[in-house]
Each structure stands twice: as structure tokens, then as C-alpha cells.
Structure 1
Amino acid sequence: MKKLILTAAALILSAGFAAAQSTTVRMGTEGAYPPYNFIDDNGQVAGFERELGDKLCEMEDLTCTWVTNDWDSIIPNLLSGNYDTIMAGMSITDERKKSIDFTQAYYPPAPSAYLAMTPDADIKGGVIAAQTGTIQAAHISETGATLAEYATLDDTIAAVKNGEADAVFADKDALKPFVGTDGFQFVGQDIPLGEGIGIGLRKSDTELKAKLNDGISKMKADGSLNKMIKKYFGDDALTFSN
């Protein structure tokens, strides 16, 4: 009987420990896509998504840690359990929904744009650099241009600088910091892609999704999400209507 009581007690303690651990959420990001996410001078994840993610975790009583991962394997490593969410400027698309789930958007559908060093860059039939695995790369592959894929946004910029590509095609907000440096300028028309940016999760993590959606909804309702967007993207940034 004593052994049975001890065993039952051990199971209760084990269950309690598991429940406590369930509130710890590993937030996965790239750390190379400013101002959404980047690594600061102290070697820490910083940017819009770090501040937003920390705020959501605080609101929903979650203990969150941050993990960085290369973009081209960010979904496979979510599915394999290396972290619990993706907050990495990831647009919500039907293709991605086949393998993962998303929260509601925490950033509105934003335009993508071409960035080049000359105003007459051939964006229709030339070589266009885009980050591997992005909706921008998928778009270029369906146009008459030649797609050149690179691991990071910085690599796409470098490709234009050294003549490997005629232009970069990426999220316009991510490209804005490069405008005016080395002759970089926007060319052509903006192109809207995706359904906005959301937090990626495994399809089985329905409770975590509900918590994060609750936090996002509250921040949209009280205007704090729009305020945070403007802090990182400027007063003319796209925001949510109340």
C-alpha cells in the first residue's frame, strides 16, 4: 500500500511538473530580418517581433525563450520540435497552411517591392534576387525573370552590389533601410502578397494558438499593436483598423 501511495504521489508530482513546463514556450525566429527581427550588439534577439512576442507572453502568462534558426529550415525545425512558434516575418499563405498553422495576422498584408541600384534595372526579364523559401521567391519563379535565391536578405543585397543580380525582391518594409545607400532605390510597382504576417505553430498546438490569438486581439483592440508597428516601421506603416 505504501508503495502504491508513493507511486501515486510521484505521478501527481510528475504531472504537475509537466503542467508547469507547458507554460514555457520557445519562440523561433531568424534573427536576420530587421526591423522584424535581428541580433543586437549584445548578441540577443531584438526587433519588432521580439518586443511583440515578449508582450504576448507576458499577457498570457507564458514563460518564453528565444531560439534562432536559419530561414530555409525554419518550418522543418518547428515540426521536429526544436521550438514551439515561428515569429520571423512569415507571411500566412495557403501553401504554408498545408504543413503548419498560424495565428491571426499581427502585421497587415504588406507590399513587396523591387530594390535596385539603377532606375532602369530589368525587373521583368533580368536576374532577381530573393530569399530562399519566401513568398517573394515563389512570385519571381512565376514571372519571366530569372530567380536567384539566397539564404538571407543581406545576401540578396550583396548579390546586387556585386553584379550577380539586377534587383532584389522582398518585403518593402525590410528593404527600406537600404534605400539611399550605394544608390539603392525602389523600382517598379509594389506587389501585395500573402495574408499578413502571423505566428506559425504546429497544428496540434491549439491551446497555445488560442492564447496567442487572445493576446493579439487585445492588442489590436486597445491600439497597442498599431503603436508598436509605428515604432518600428514608421508613422506611415500599415496598421489595423479598430
Structure 2
Amino acid sequence: MKKTILAAAAILALGSAVQAQDTVRIATEGAYAPWNFLNDAGEPAGFEIDLGNAICAEAKLTCQFILNDWDSIIPNLLAGNYDVIMAGMSVTDERLQTIDFSDNYFPPDPSRFASMAGDAPDFANLTGARIGVQGGTIQASYAESTYGATNTVVAFSTADQAMADLAAGNLDTILADGAYLEPVVTASGGAIEFVGDEILIGDGYAAGLRKDETELKGKINTALAALKKDGTVDKLIAQWFDGQGPYFAE
């Protein structure tokens, strides 16, 4: 599993050339569709890439999207390897102890369990099940604290790896963002289904920043406010999340 930022050749530079201090380096995982993923050309794509471009255009900044593994994405922000995280990251009290966040650009989204059709564990008495999660996520923390004593919580480096193990019969269920699971369940044609109850964890999705980046946070929030008001954020949410919303436009 890669632990380092990809080489400069894997960085997608966007926007017009401006002074170096106006360049903002945005880290994304590139493995969490539709939030962020790699397109057929191997370039970052998805909701957060489009939104990041719109924020930078509004704020008159130049953006560079940098790929970084999820499990080291906060440590590398704190190390100064980039300036912002846009990677389907929920705002939580735990994360606020070490980093800051912009205003929300996606509302709180219920986490969901999914299982192969007809093979769901008994959620009324969940015992002895193998529960797949992406490591370092709010779902991983929730699953471990809530079900870890009587079940086996298996952490994966990406959500797609957890889904692959579910399909292979190595897991009984997985827990992930509903917005991530929705297109997967739909595309499965009934082979995968939602099970159990919806669980609301976290306070919405936002860009992560170092606590000392107050000026950059202000620029991002000002741009976000304008993009919410003119409908851009809602348009991108509807585009990438199967018509969801509107949430922000006045």
C-alpha cells in the first residue's frame, strides 16, 4: 500500500498561472466515487474535483490536486505536504482536535450497512459477523465501538477493497457512507442490498485545513458561500449524486 504522495507526474495542475503564493494544493484520495476517483486518463475526477475547481475559480486561485492515500491524508496535511483536504471527509469532534474545516459543502449523510442479497446478518442480535469498513473513517470508529466486542471489524485501505471482499463472500456486511453505497447498490441489479438501520455520524462534509490557515479558510468559505447562493454547489451535488438536493441555494 502506497504511503507517500504520488510523483509530480500524477499531479493535475488546474487554473491559470498566478503567483506561487496563490497556488493551493488540494489532497484527494482518488478512490471514493462519486466524491473523488481517477478517470480513464488516470486523472482526478468527481464531485470534489469539480467543486474544488469552482472554488478556485471563484477565489481566483490556482489549484493542484494531489493524490494521497486515505490513512495518511491528515498526517501529510499537518506535515505541510499540501494545503487542503477534499476527500469525502466528515467533520467530527475528534478530527477538530487536530485540523480545522471549511464550511460544509455536503450535508450530513447517513451511513448504511450493505450485504449480499439474502445473506444479511441478524441486526437485531449482531454477533459473530465480519463487518468491513474503510480504516480511519467515521464508520470504522463507530463499528469498532458499537459492534467490536461481539463481532470482527475488518479495516481496508479503500472502500472499494471492502466492497470486493463482500462480493467475494469474505464479509457479512460493510458499513460506509450512504452516498458512496447508493450507486453501488443500484448498479448491482439487486445483488447487493441495504440492510439494518441508517446511522447518522458526523456533521457534514467539508474541506480540511491546518488550524493556522485562517486566511485560506476565509477565501474558501467566501467562495463556497457564493457558489451555494448561485446554485453551483447544488448543481454539482445533483450531477454526481443522482439528483440529490437542493440543499444550499436560497
State the AA in 2 paired with 1:81.
G
Deviation at 1:161, TM superposition (A): 1.7
State the AA in 2 paired with 1:102.
F
Stretches of structure 1 lacking an aligned partner (at least 5 in a row): 1-18
Deviation at 1:237, TM superposition (A): 4.5
Contact 1:108/1:238, CA 8 A, preserved across alignment:
no
Which residue does 1:209 correspond to in 2?
Answer: 217
State the AA in 1 paired with 2:108.
P
Which residue does 1:8 correspond to in 2?
Answer: none
Deviation at 1:236, TM superposition (A): 3.5
Which residue does 2:13 correspond to in 1?
Answer: none
Which residue does 2:239 correspond to in 1?
Answer: 231
Question: Matches of 2:50 and 2:244 in 1, distance apart?
Answer: 20
Deviation at 1:227, TM superposition (A): 1.3
Specify whether residues 169 and 159 from structure 1 end up closer, same or farther in structure 2 by C-alpha distance, changes over 3 A only.
same
Which residue does 2:120 correspond to in 1?
Answer: 121
How is 1:158-177 mapped onto 2 (pairs within 5 angstroms)?
158-177=164-183
Contact 1:140/1:146, CA 8 A, preserved across alignment:
no
Q: Cα deviation per residue 1:137-195 (whole Å; 9 max; x = unaligned)?
A: 01101123421100001110011122221111000111122215271111111111100
The answer to whether residue 152 in structure 2 is matched with residue 149 in structure 1 is: no
SS of 1:164's equivalent?
Answer: coil
Contact 1:108/1:240, CA 8 A, preserved across alignment:
no
Which residue does 1:12 correspond to in 2?
Answer: none
Which residue does 2:38 correspond to in 1?
Answer: 39
Deviation at 1:225, TM superposition (A): 0.9
SS of 2:82's equivalent?
Answer: coil
Contact 2:229/2:249, CA 8 A, preserved across alignment:
no
Contact 1:119/1:187, CA 8 A, preserved across alignment:
no
Q: Cα deviation per residue 1:176-220 (whole Å; 9 max; x = unaligned)?
A: 222152711111111111000000001111100000000111111
Tell which structure's C-alpha radius of gyration is larger.
Answer: 1
State the AA in 1 paired with 2:233.
L
Specify whether residues 197 and 115 from structure 1 end up closer, same or farther in structure 2 by C-alpha distance, changes over 3 A only.
same
Which residue does 2:140 correspond to in 1?
Answer: 137
Deviation at 1:120, TM superposition (A): 4.8
Question: Matches of 1:118 and 1:200 in 2, distance apart?
Answer: 36
| TM-score, structure 1 as length reference | 0.88
How is 1:90-109 mapped onto 2 (pairs within 5 angstroms)?
90-109=89-108
Structure 1 vs Structure 2: percent identity of aligned residues? 45
